[in-house]
């Protein structure tokens, strides 16, 4: 091999090594920020449920399933922080809490062991069609649901009933550039049981979500809104800028679904959210309200069409 050919081989080899290292580094970065499920989404559905303790819920005021399976983006800091908060709230309120990432719990037998299911940043297609139907029946028969942050993102869009029952509008995007911003949150309904003990307004740092239409337009009862004049509701990336202002911008709402109840809050990306006393109070109130469907005047609501 002459010198020129040898040099060409070395250049090509070096280029290939650099390219490989860049690919590996990119994959590591995707995993590190929790975006592995976005780059490589999964449709894995559990078929074997964990065995619940025989005495689970005995003597408890509420039995709560905290579900945080992620087949899409994973909030690697927010999820464990949410679990820690629910353990603390359970001790304070006399709840029995079971943490799981197993979708096989979504059948009639296991759901009957719970009063409330919390989607704590659960993302993606995590349950089968049969499991979806079991959950829908459980909610419409009097179950309670609380959704936190990513429970309202676009990864759930294929489950039409879920979208109609809990979220309403199609997810648009979250702010970027910067991703986390402080904004003014306004309590719209100060008389609702879920907002009791909250200040009339407060400041919160969040990855603010936007939807293409307001939940209010879809018949949800708005609890909190975010003041878009107090942060920058844009996506800024690669020199471009996309405006994701909504005007009317609810970030927490409630709804009666058949005989059941639901509350969604868009706050909860960062671990710090679950260490905030105001957010903790909101979540505790939400669990208590959805867990007692016969109290505080929630009339039977519409049941979304099943796909």
Average pLDDT over residues 261-288: 99
Q: Which residue has the tokens 């078929």?
A: 47
In terms of residue numbers, what domain contains 7?
Answer: 3-32
Same domain assignment for residues 18 and 121? no
Same domain assignment for residues 24 and 121? no
Total count of domains within the chain: 2
Q: What is the distance between the alpha carbons of residues 33 and 268, in angstroms, rounded to a whole number? A: 16
Average pLDDT over residues 85-94: 99
What is the per-residue pLDDT across 253-264, written as a single tens digit (0 to 9) for each?
999 999 999 999
Same domain assignment for residues 12 and 124? no
Asked if residue 231 is part of any domain, the answer here is yes
How many helices (H) and strands (E) are present in the chain, helices listed first? 7, 13
Q: Which residue has the tokens 């107090």?
A: 230
pLDDT interval class at 155 (50, 70, 90): very high
Same domain assignment for residues 120 and 165? yes
What is the per-residue pLDDT across 159-173, written as a single tens digit (0 to 9) for each?
999 999 999 999 999
CATH number of the domain within which 230 lies: 3.40.50.880
Same domain assignment for residues 94 and 13? no
Same domain assignment for residues 78 and 13? no
Q: What is the distance between the alpha carbons of residues 124 and 225, in angstroms, rounded to a whole number? A: 26
Q: Which pLDDT score, from 0 to 100, does residue 10 have?
A: 67
What is the per-residue pLDDT across 174-217, written as a single tens digit (0 to 9) for each?
999 999 999 999 999 999 999 999 999 999 999 999 999 999 99
Asked if residue 52 is part of any domain, the answer here is no
Q: Which pLDDT score, from 0 to 100, does residue 257 have?
A: 96
Q: Which pLDDT score, from 0 to 100, does residue 193 have?
A: 97
Same domain assignment for residues 244 and 136? yes
For the cut 70, the answer to whether the pLDDT of residue 4 exceeds it is no
pLDDT interval class at 42 (50, 70, 90): confident
Q: What is the distance between the alpha carbons of residues 144 and 213, in angstroms, rounded to a whole number? A: 24
Question: Looking at per-residue confidence, does 13 or 48 come out higher?
Answer: 48
Q: How far does CA 28 lie from the centroid of its chain?
A: 24
Same domain assignment for residues 11 and 69? no
Q: Which pLDDT score, from 0 to 100, does residue 294 have?
A: 75
Asked if residue 305 is part of any domain, the answer here is no
Q: Which pLDDT score, from 0 to 100, does residue 286 have?
A: 99
pTM metric for this prediction: 0.87
Q: Which of 5-14, 116-125, 287-296 is predicted with the least confidence, judged by mean pLDDT?
A: 5-14
């Amino acid at each position: 091999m002459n010198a020129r050919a040898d040099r060409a081989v070395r250049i090509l080899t070096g280029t290939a090594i650099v390219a490989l290292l860049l690919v590996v580094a990119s994959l590591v970065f995707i995993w590190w920020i929790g975006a592995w499920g976005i780059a490589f989404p999964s449709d894995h559905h559990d078929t074997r449920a964990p065995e619940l303790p025989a005495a689970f819920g005995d003597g408890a005021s509420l039995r709560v399933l905290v579900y945080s399976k992620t087949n899409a983006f994973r909030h690697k800091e927010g999820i464990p922080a949410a679990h820690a908060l629910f353990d603390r709230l359970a001790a304070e309120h006399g709840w029995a809490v079971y943490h799981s990432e197993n979708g096989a719990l979504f059948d009639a037998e296991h759901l009957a062991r719970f009063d409330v299911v919390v989607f704590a940043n659960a993302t993606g297609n995590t349950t089968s069609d049969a499991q979806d139907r079991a959950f829908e029946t459980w909610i419409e028969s009097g179950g309670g649901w609380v959704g936190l942050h990513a429970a309202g993102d676009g990864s759930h869009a294929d489950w039409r009933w879920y979208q109609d029952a809990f979220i309403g509008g199609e997810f648009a995007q979250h702010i970027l550039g910067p991703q986390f911003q402080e904004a003014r949150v306004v309590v719209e309904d100060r008389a609702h049981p879920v907002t009791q003990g909250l200040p009339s307004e407060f400041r919160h740092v969040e990855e603010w979500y936007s939807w293409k239409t307001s939940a209010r337009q879809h018949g949800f009862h708005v609890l909190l809104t975010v003041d878009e004049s107090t942060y920058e509701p844009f996506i800024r990336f690669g020199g471009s800028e996309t405006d994701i202002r909504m005007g009317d911008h609810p970030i927490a709402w409630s709804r009666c679904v058949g005989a059941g109840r639901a509350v969604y809050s868009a706050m909860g990306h960062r671990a710090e959210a679950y260490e905030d006393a105001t957010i903790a109070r909101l979540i505790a109130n939400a669990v208590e309200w959805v867990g007692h469907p016969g109290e505080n005047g929630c009339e039977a609501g519409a049941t979304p069409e099943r796909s």
